[in-house]
Amino acid sequence: MTDLRPFRCAVPEPAIADLHRRLDATRWPGELDDVGWDYGAPLSFLRELADHWRHRFDWRAAEARINAFDQFLLEIDGLDTHFIHQRSPHPHATPLLITHGWPGSIVELLDVIPRLTEPERFGGNAEDAFHVVAPSLPGYGFSAAPTKPGMSPRAIAARHLDLMRALGYERFVAQGGDWGSIISRFLPDLAPERLIGLHLNMLPPWKPAGVADPFALMTDRERARYHADRAKIPDEFGYQAIQKSRPQSLGFGLSDSPVGLAAWIVEKFQSWTDNQGDPRDALSFDQMLANISLYWFTGTIASSVRLYREYELAHRRGERPGARVEVPTGGAFYPREIHGPVKAWVEREYNLVHWYEAPAGGHFAAFEQPALFAADLLAFGQTVRNGETGGL
């Protein structure tokens, strides 16, 4: 590892002009009548989104929001990792590693970070504050893309341990959703002594080992949700089959067409957020486009989706989470999460000391509901700092 280098986003003007040129030259496909989102992103929605991107979206404003935070690059094993390192003004704040997923980015966290570093500004308590470290995953945003196979979730977890040590944080709280949840789950296997606590807002319903009838442990509500989630798999997870098998082929199209990229990502914002049929019920066009634009300007959509292939190959090699996690763990469930958890199953895999069921929100919890997300994470931090770790 080498020394930290301060970083600021600064997309060149010609790159913005090129985006505008490509948007103007979009070749639009036809579509079926009256099918809504059932076949993917509708033409009318994408035309409106693209028009906003071309004529009203202000990347410089989005860039300024990112640059309001302290950012750095650190070379780890030959690859630069980009990260936000926002220290709280309260010197005794608890270190927090927070990891995003796909198709998200650090943009998801911009409204959450101030609530965590200075909770007293938002009605909370200064003694609950965190020093926040939010890395961009390898091949996402401004983090360098791997050039060789093998950058699996476990390998990323090991890099994050190196990052926290380089910053002087020997012990810390780890938080994650989506890929962040899967990556963070490997931290207790690699270095349990370094974790003060583990907080996850995606807890897939994996059946516990050694239980004769795991379904008997479900509540009626959990059972109904489990079967509803299973019924959605054929329609909802086709993207995974592509990304974990032939991500490079997909990457050519998404890297060349901004509207193609936007369609691939915004369809997930529609499917996975807490909305009434339109993703704008949960996220504004400007929020969606800040995230999409980060992928576009950094040219990282192809490298980002390769993580699915790396995970698939690592799983085939037997790279899987270890035994029960004894690190004090918090679980959060948002009602439109794509994988509804089963609490009794979670308790068998984790030392569960904190459980939160949010009244609103979906898969992009920090993005959709920053106030709820931050309040829950602050409450979890208070629990583990106070030593209330006997389980629920």
pLDDT attached to residue 43 = 98
Is 1's pLDDT higher than 60?
A: no
Is 392's pLDDT higher than 90?
A: no
How far is residue 289's CA from residue 193's CA, in Å, rounded to a whole number? 40
Is 26's pLDDT higher than 70?
A: yes
pLDDT attached to residue 209 = 86
Is 373's pLDDT higher than 80?
A: yes
Half-sphere exposure of 95 (CA within 13 A, CB side): 19
How far is residue 244's CA from residue 313's CA, in Å, rounded to a whole number? 9
Q: Tell me if residue 332 falls in helix, strand or coil.
A: strand
- Catalytic entry in 169, 226, 308, 311: 308
CB 266 within 8 A of CB 239: no
The CA dihedral of 366, 372, 376, 379, to the nearest 10 degrees, is: 130
Average pLDDT over residues 102-127: 98
Tell me the domain boundaries of the chain. Answer: 5-385
The CATH class that applies to domain 5-385 reads alpha beta
pLDDT tens figures, 59-100: 999 999 999 999 999 999 999 999 999 999 999 999 999 999
Average pLDDT over residues 200-214: 91
Higher pLDDT, 232 or 14: 14
Residue 376 in tokens: 């829950």
CB 348 within 8 A of CB 57: no
Mean pLDDT, the chain, rounded, equals: 96
- On the 0-12 / 13-18 / 19+ scale of CB atoms within 10 A, 156 is buried
How far is residue 158's CA from residue 304's CA, in Å, rounded to a whole number? 18
pLDDT attached to residue 366 = 98
The CA dihedral of 98, 103, 105, 108, to the nearest 10 degrees, is: -80
Q: In what order do the strands lie in the sheet with 71-76?
A: 5-7, 71-76, 79-86, 130-135, 94-99, 172-176, 195-200, 325-333, 350-357
pLDDT tens figures, 194-206: 999 999 999 988 8
- Catalytic entry in 199, 311, 363, 376: 363
Is 363 assigned a catalytic role? Answer: yes
How far is residue 63's CA from residue 8's CA, in Å, rounded to a whole number? 9
Q: How confident is the model at residue 286 (pLDDT cuts 50, 70, 90)?
A: very high
In the chain, what percentage of residues exceed pLDDT 70? Answer: 98
Is 388's pLDDT higher than 70?
A: no
Is 256 assigned a catalytic role? Answer: no
pLDDT attached to residue 249 = 97
Nearest residue to 286 (alpha-carbon basis) of 85, 43, 63: 63
How far is residue 253's CA from residue 249's CA, in Å, rounded to a whole number? 8
**Residues 6+ away with beta carbon under 8 Å from 139:** 145, 146, 151, 300, 303, 304, 306, 307
Q: How confident is the model at residue 2 (pLDDT cuts 50, 70, 90)?
A: low
How far is residue 229's CA from residue 233's CA, in Å, rounded to a whole number? 7
- Catalytic entry in 178, 226, 274, 334: 178
pLDDT attached to residue 206 = 87
What length is written for the chain? 392
pLDDT attached to residue 375 = 98
Is 227 assigned a catalytic role? Answer: no
Q: How many CB atoms lie within 10 A of CB 212?
A: 5
pLDDT attached to residue 210 = 86
